[in-house]
Amino acid sequence: EHTIYLKDYAPSPYRIVSVDLDFRILAENTTVTTQLTIEPRDDTAPGTPLVLDGDELSLTSIAIDGAPLVLSAYLAEPNSLTVFEPPLRRFVLETEVVLQPENNTPLMGLYRSSGTWCTQCEPEGFRRITYYMDRPDILATFNVRMTAPRDLAPVLLANGNLVDRGDAGDGMHFAVWQDPFPKPSYLFALVAGDLGAITDTFTTASGRKVDLAIYCTHGKEDQCYWAMDSLKRSMAWDEKRFGLEYDLDIFNIVAVSDFNFGAMENKGLNIFNDKLVFAHPDTATDGDYEGIERVIAHEYFHNWTGNRITCRDWFQLCLKEGLTVYRDQEFTSDERSRAVKRIGDVVGLRGAQFAEDGGPLAHPARPDEYREINNFYTATVYEKGAEIVRMLATLLGEAGFRKGMDLYFERHDGEATTIEAFLNVFGEANGTNLDQFKTWYLQAGTPRLTVEDNYDAANQTYTLKLKQETLPTPGQPTKAALVVPIKFGLIGPNGSPMEWSGVSGAEVRDEMIVLNTDAAEVTFTGVANRPVPSLLREFSAPVNMTTNLTQDDQLFLARHDNDPFNRWQALQDVGMALALSATKGTPWSDNAVAALSEAMADTLASDTLDDAFKALSLTIPAEYQIAQNLGSDVDPVRVHEVRSELLKAIFAPLAIQLLQAYRGLASDQPYAPDAKSNGHRALRNRLLGLLVASDAPGAANLAAEQYETARNMTDRLAALGASAYAWTEKAPVLLADFKIRFGGDPLVLDKWLAVTAAVPEDGVIERIRTILADPTFPKTNPNRLRSLMGVFAMSNPTQFTRADGAGFRFVAEFVAEIDKINPQVAARVLTGFRIWPMLEPKRREAAKSVLTTLQSGGSLSRNTADILTRMLA
Ligand code: B3K
Ligand code: ZN
**Among the atoms of ligand 1, which is closest to the Cα of residue 263?**
8
User: Candidates 183, 187, 299: which one to mutate for ligand 1, based on the most atoms within 8 Å of Cβ?
Assistant: 299
Which one from 299, 335, 356, 372 is the annotated catalytic residue? 299
460-463: Cβ within 8 A, 24+ apart: 460/525, 460/526, 460/527, 460/528, 461/523, 461/524, 461/525, 461/527, 462/490, 462/500, 462/523, 462/524, 462/527, 462/530, 462/531, 463/505, 463/521, 463/522, 463/523, 463/524
Quick one: which ligand is closest to 186's CA? 1
For residue 270, the CA-to-ligand 2 centroid distance in Å is: 11
AA identity, residue 442: L
**Among the atoms of ligand 1, which is closest to the Cα of residue 374?**
7
Sign of CA dihedral 428, 429, 433, 435: negative
Q: What's the chain's average pLDDT? A: 98
For residue 377, the CA-to-ligand 1 centroid distance in Å is: 7
Is residue 299 annotated as part of the catalytic site, yes or no? yes
Same domain, 550 and 684: yes
**Among the atoms of ligand 1, which is closest to the Cα of residue 298?**
11
Please report the DSSP string for 697-759 in residue order. TTHHHHHHHHHHH-SSHHHHHHHHHHHHHHT-TTHHHHHHHHHHHHTTSHHHHHHHHHHHHT-
Same domain, 551 and 534: no
CATH (domain of 838) = 1.25.50.10
Q: Whose CA is nearest to atom 6 of ligand 1?
A: 122
- The span from the CA of 784 to the CA of 258, in Å, is 9
- The span from the CA of 417 to the CA of 765, in Å, is 47
Q: Whose CA is nearest to atom 9 of ligand 1?
A: 264
Residue 823: closest CA among 226, 104, 243? 104
CATH (domain of 529) = 2.60.40.1840
Which of 486, 512, 541 delimits the end of a domain? 541
Same domain, 671 and 633: yes
Number of Cβ atoms within 10 Å of the Cβ of 236? 14
User: What pLDDT is recorded for position 242?
Assistant: 98
Residues of the chain with pLDDT under 70: 1
**457 domain-assigned:** yes
In three state form, how does the secondary structure of 498-551 look?
CCCCEEECCEEECCEEEECCCEEEEEEECCCCCCEEEECHHHCCCCEEEECCCH
User: What pLDDT is recorded for position 668?
Assistant: 86
Sign of CA dihedral 182, 187, 192, 193: negative
Q: Measure the CA angle with vertex 289, ends 286 and 291; round to 5°.
A: 105
Residue pair 399/36 in contact by the 8 Å Cβ criterion: no
Same domain, 524 and 573: no
For residue 667, the CA-to-ligand 1 centroid distance in Å is: 37
Residue 374: closest CA among 855, 819, 57? 819
**Among the atoms of ligand 1, which is closest to the Cα of residue 382?**
10
For residue 182, the CA-to-ligand 1 centroid distance in Å is: 19
Q: Whose CA is nearest to atom 1 of ligand 1?
A: 264
Cis peptide before 11 (omega within 30 of 0): no
Which of 643, 669, 697 delimits the end of a domain? 697
3-class DSSP state for residue 596? helix
Same domain, 535 and 581: no
Q: Whose CA is nearest to atom 3 of ligand 1?
A: 264
Q: Which protein residues touch ligand 1 with a CB less than 6 Å away?
A: 122-123, 261, 263-265, 298-299, 302, 321, 374, 377
Quick one: which ligand is closest to 136's CA? 1
What DSSP character marks residue 790? I
Q: Any residues with CB less than 8 A from the CB of 378 and at least 6 apart, and which?
A: 356, 361, 363
CATH (domain of 376) = 1.10.390.10
Residue 544: closest CA among 473, 625, 443, 616? 625
**Among the atoms of ligand 1, which is closest to the Cα of residue 302?**
11
In terms of residue numbers, what domain contains 873?
Answer: 743-873
CA gyration radius, the chain? 28
Beta bridge partners of 24: 31, 147
For residue 839, the CA-to-ligand 2 centroid distance in Å is: 33
**87 domain-assigned:** no
Q: Whose CA is nearest to atom 4 of ligand 1?
A: 122
- The span from the CA of 118 to the CA of 194, in Å, is 12
**93 domain-assigned:** no
Which of 409, 424, 442 delimits the end of a domain? 442
**102 domain-assigned:** no
Same domain, 464 and 422: no
Most distant CA pair in the chain, distance: 95
User: Candidates 321, 373, 383, 828: which one to mutate for ligand 1, based on the most atoms within 8 Å of Cβ?
Assistant: 321
Residue 82: closest CA among 116, 113, 102, 59? 59
Q: Measure the CA angle with vertex 329, ends 326 and 330; round to 5°.
A: 90
Quick one: which ligand is closest to 323's CA? 2
Q: Whose CA is nearest to atom 2 of ligand 1?
A: 264
Q: Whose CA is nearest to atom 10 of ligand 1?
A: 321
List pLDDT tens digits, range 491-540: 999 999 999 999 999 999 989 999 999 999 999 999 999 999 999 999 99
Same domain, 466 and 571: no
List pLDDT tens digits, range 238-254: 999 999 999 999 999 99
For residue 122, the CA-to-ligand 1 centroid distance in Å is: 7
Please report the DSSP string for 273-297 in residue order. EGGGT---TTT--HHHHHHHHHHHH
**Among the atoms of ligand 1, which is closest to the Cα of residue 321?**
10
**711 domain-assigned:** no
Please report the DSSP string for 348-402 in residue order. HIIIIIIHHHTSTT---SS-SEES-GGGG-SHIIIIIHHHHHHHHHHHHHHHHHH
Same domain, 352 and 495: no
User: What pLDDT is recorded for position 1?
Assistant: 59
3-class DSSP state for residue 575? helix
Same domain, 378 and 323: yes
For residue 298, the CA-to-ligand 2 centroid distance in Å is: 6
Same domain, 773 and 687: no
For residue 387, the CA-to-ligand 2 centroid distance in Å is: 15
User: What pLDDT is recorded for position 521?
Assistant: 98
Cα within 13 Å of Cα(331), Cβ side:
30
Helix and strand totals (H; E) in the chain: 29, 33
Residue pair 819/777 in contact by the 8 Å Cβ criterion: no
Residue 538: closest CA among 560, 512, 556? 512
Same domain, 536 and 573: no
For the chain, the domain total comes to: 4
Helix (H) or strand (E) holding 824: helix 823-830
3-class DSSP state for residue 308? coil
What DSSP character marks residue 778? -
Quick one: which ligand is closest to 327's CA? 2
**249 domain-assigned:** no
Task: Give the strand pairing for 448-456 and 416-417.
Answer: unpaired
**502 domain-assigned:** yes
Same domain, 618 and 533: no
Distances (CA, A) of 139 to 186, 248, 314: 10, 18, 15
Beta bridge partners of 451: 466, 547
Number of Cβ atoms within 10 Å of the Cβ of 209? 9
**39 domain-assigned:** no
Q: Any residues with CB less than 8 A from the CB of 107 and at least 6 apart, and which?
A: 113, 120, 258, 259, 260, 782, 822, 824
